Amino acid sequence: MVYRAHILICAHPQCLDKGASEVEAELLKQLEAQGLKDEVQVVEVDGLGRPHQGPEMVIYPEGTHYVGLSPEVIPHIVEEHLLKGRPVLAMTYKEPPSEPLEAPAAKEVRVVLRNVGKIDPDNIEDYIAEDGYMALAKVLSEMTPQQVIDEVLRSGLRGRGGAGFPTGRKWAFAASAPGDVKYVVCNGDEGDPGAFMNRRVLEGDPHAVLEGMAIAAYAIGAHQGYIYVRAEYPIAVRTLRLAIQQAREYGLLGKNILGSGFDFDVEVRMGAGAFVCGEETALMASIEGKRGMPRTRPPFPAVSGLWGKPTNINNVETYANVPQIILKGAAWFASMGTEKSKGTKTFAIAGKVKRTGLIEVPLGITLREIVYDVGGGILNDKKFKAVQTGGPMGGCIPEQYLDTPVDYETLGQLGSIMGSGGFVVMDEDTCMVDIARFFMEFTQDESCGKCVPCRVGTRRMLEILNDICAGKGKPGDIEELERLAEYIRKGSLCGLGQGAPNPVLSTLKYFREEYEAHIYEKRCPAKVCRALIEYKIDAAACIGCTRCARNCPVNAISGTVKQPHVIDPEVCIRCGICQQVCPVNAVHVE
Amino acid sequence: MKSLEELQKIKERALERRRLSAENARVRIVVAMGTCGIAAGARDTMKALLDEIERKQLADVVVTQTGCIGLCEYEPIVQVKVGDEEMVTYGKIDAARAGRIIEEHIVKGTPVAEWVVK
């Protein structure tokens, strides 16, 4: 059967609530009456995007989107649109006036991101116009490798991948390691859920990373560099490859750069997206074509890295800082930040804040400033509950520490980490046990399996957390979690295992009562864990309209017209539709 | 390139080119084309802008691209600079909205206030 037209009609609870079923019945009746039954197909769909203006339907092939429908207007639409081919524009969806768009307040300081969003990343001359490659030229013409290392050391720059090791010291180790073949590697394997700081730099200012790598190569005596990026960043890979090609054409990569006699070239290597490949030894194994698994350290990469040669490996953001440090000086860089953590840091703000996005702020800014001034505060003006920094290996920091200045040490003292810059804000409706379970699920899945405590331990922890969320928690679970956490932390080779327990430990530290409520009272205080909540109808408020019973997908609601209805908790799947469709807010969660 | 002097020259040339383009092109339009922008439809926006410029035969408008400006939620983002006026940043500019920006802001000179990111 070939249809001349198709009608998608919305069966979203909100549309049903407003009479979508009656609209559909009238539509079918009219199609029949007009003899269009065999020409027009009607399909029920779950949501067309504007349920608050429903009932709604879309008529194809024109794609006309009708809203605010009622059975009364259907005959007119069928006649005009489907018989005469004239859409009834008065009933179509119109774009509302836009909500005001606000940019973050001026707490941002851009060093790493100074060019991102300003220059055309596909045009090397745009970068050169912004003093691009001037730092490399300065290094090659005026400075010895040792002077470069000293300058970076004095600046106080620390590894932006998360661990915060002083970059200058790392360079010094690689420089002093014996060997005539050395490598520089850029870690662009950004894998924290919701983090995309490095992608932004690679896509928006690729030459800054290349220049930083070339300076590092000069400092340690390397002539070949590798950038390791995930294949799931195709635009970053494309941009980088174009940038490398242009830099070669301009003689800024390759042999005898700027007539100095210094040779350096870079290659992009793509990773398949295993989270553990962000760990430096696993990353290098992956570049070598081996399975990405961490190995014991020492020897550190600076002594024996890629193909057993001395290797300097830094994060994208670390390299992007270097040209600015060389041009403006160590003192300028060290003037930003705290005593032990200098400069700026990029963060990806996500979660329950008004303005999500990517920011760069000076270290030492307080968590409160990031959440409220830069992020615009909590969405829907709910109450702040916690912020999770550092990705899946980080911890949750509660409200009483909001005024803590952000640096490597303070975040560590609070049981979290700086990490690469993930920043997930949670509000009062977030269940902390559920969050810990989410992150444990991630690390359990991403554990490479080499170390038994990490491979088996994270699974055991996840099972316990699943049980707690499912209402099957038992006395002793918390203690068992703590015991396992200790084993995993002590018995794992790399940061993935060592950090895996952090989300659980930090939530246990600050939100232990939530775990206890789940285990001992079988109650989820945030009303998130489905097994621990129950939808109930307030008999006094219920007007017996039958809407909930008609819309319940599993027929868990019984009752007669004008009499209070009842939900059978045994049948109920806690989907919440009854609460959405109730016209008098008689359904609540317990 | 074989020397620092040459790099200096390229820098001056690039700056000069920028200055000239600012003189010759009355209007500069920048579309953010990072992953976030492209995911939100920046390629369609870019195409719609170029089509509209072509259709209206606006010879004094240049369109360039850039990376993510950090307001991923408001992508696709389009920035418009007319002459010496301050750069205007627009948020959520899908292909359908491109025409109105060209018509009202670039042809008639009045920014579309309701789409501006403040």
ipTM: 0.90
Mind giving me the DSSP string for A371-437?
Answer: IIIIS-SBGGG--EEEEEESGGGS-EEEGGGTT-B-SHHHHHHTT---TTSEEEEEETT--HHHHHH
- Give the pLDDT score at A100: 66
- Give the pLDDT score at A103: 67
**CB count in 10 Å sphere of residue A388:** 30
Element (H, E) at A271: strand A265-271
3-state SS assignment for residue A270: strand
- Give the pLDDT score at A180: 92
| Cα of A327 vs its chain's centroid, Å | 33
Q: Which residue of B has its CA nearest to A202?
A: B67
Tokens of B30: 């920048």
State which amino acid sits at residue B109.
G
| Interval B1-30: pLDDT, tens | 668 888 999 999 999 988 887 778 889 999
- Distance (Å, whole) CA A210 – CA A129: 16
| Interval B36-92: pLDDT, tens | 999 999 999 999 999 999 999 998 999 999 999 888 889 999 999 998 889 999 999
> Shortest Cα distance from A429 to chain B (angstroms)?
22
| Interval A143-167: pLDDT, tens | 999 999 999 999 999 999 888 999 9
Q: How far is CA A456 from CA A295, A476, A492, in A?
A: 18, 19, 11
| Interval A423-436: pLDDT, tens | 999 999 999 999 99
Chain A residues in contact with B17 (beta carbon < 8 A): 125
* CB–CB contacts below 8 A, A to B: 113
Report, as an integer, the average pLDDT of A403-413: 94
Report, as an integer, the average pLDDT of A376-392: 92
Backbone angles phi, psi at A422, to 5 degrees: -70, 145
Residue A99 lies in a domain: no
| Interval A444-453: pLDDT, tens | 999 999 999 9
* Alpha-carbon torsion (A21, A27, A33, A35), positive or negative: negative
| A52 confidence band (pLDDT: 50, 70, 90) | confident
| Interval A95-124: pLDDT, tens | 665 566 766 656 788 999 999 988 999 999
Q: Which residue of A has its CA nearest to B35?
A: A235
- Give the pLDDT score at A13: 79
- Give the pLDDT score at A363: 95
End position of a domain, from candidates A427, A445, A463: A427
Residue A109 lies in a domain: no
Mind giving me the DSSP string for A32-92?
Answer: HHTT-TTTEEEEEES--S-GGG-S-EEEETTTEEE-S--GGGHHHHIIIIIIT----GGGB
Residue A116 lies in a domain: no
State which amino acid sits at residue B114.
E
A278 and A213 co-located in one domain: yes
Report, as an integer, the average pLDDT of A389-414: 94
A490 and A570 co-located in one domain: no
CATH code for the domain of A13: 3.40.30.10
Helices (H), A143-274: 145-155, 167-176, 197-204, 206-220, 234-249
Residue A439 lies in a domain: yes
CATH code for the domain of A558: 3.30.70.20
Name the domain count of chain A. 5
State which amino acid sits at residue A415.
G
Report, as an integer, the average pLDDT of A313-336: 97
End position of a domain, from candidates A381, A400, A427: A427
Chain B residues in contact with A256 (beta carbon < 8 A): 2
- What's the topology of domain B23-115? Glutaredoxin (3.40.30)
* Structural domain boundaries in chain B: 23-115
- Give the pLDDT score at A104: 61
Q: Does the structure show a pLDDT above 90 at A53?
A: no
- Give the pLDDT score at A297: 92
Which of B28, B68, B115 would you mutate first to test chain A, the one with the most A CBs within 10 A?
Answer: B68
A290 and A386 co-located in one domain: no
Contact status of B21 with chain A (Cβ, < 8 Å): no
Whole-structure pTM value: 0.84
Mean pLDDT estimate for chain A: 92
CATH code for the domain of A493: 1.20.1440.230
Report, as an integer, the average pLDDT of A293-300: 94
Contact status of B20 with chain A (Cβ, < 8 Å): no
Q: How far is CA A481 from CA A53, A140, A361, A449, in A?
A: 48, 54, 36, 20
Q: How far is CA A139 from CA A156, A182, A257, A261, in A?
A: 18, 19, 11, 13
| Between A3 and A201, the higher pLDDT residue | A201
| Interval A235-276: pLDDT, tens | 999 999 999 999 999 999 999 999 999 999 999 999 998 999
- Distance (Å, whole) CA B41 – CA B34: 11
End position of a domain, from candidates A302, A332, A362: A332
Q: Does the structure show a pLDDT above 80 at A532?
A: yes
Q: Which structural domain range is residue A557 located in? A: 534-589
A419 and A485 co-located in one domain: no
Q: Which residue of A has its CA nearest to B63?
A: A120
A239 and A131 co-located in one domain: yes
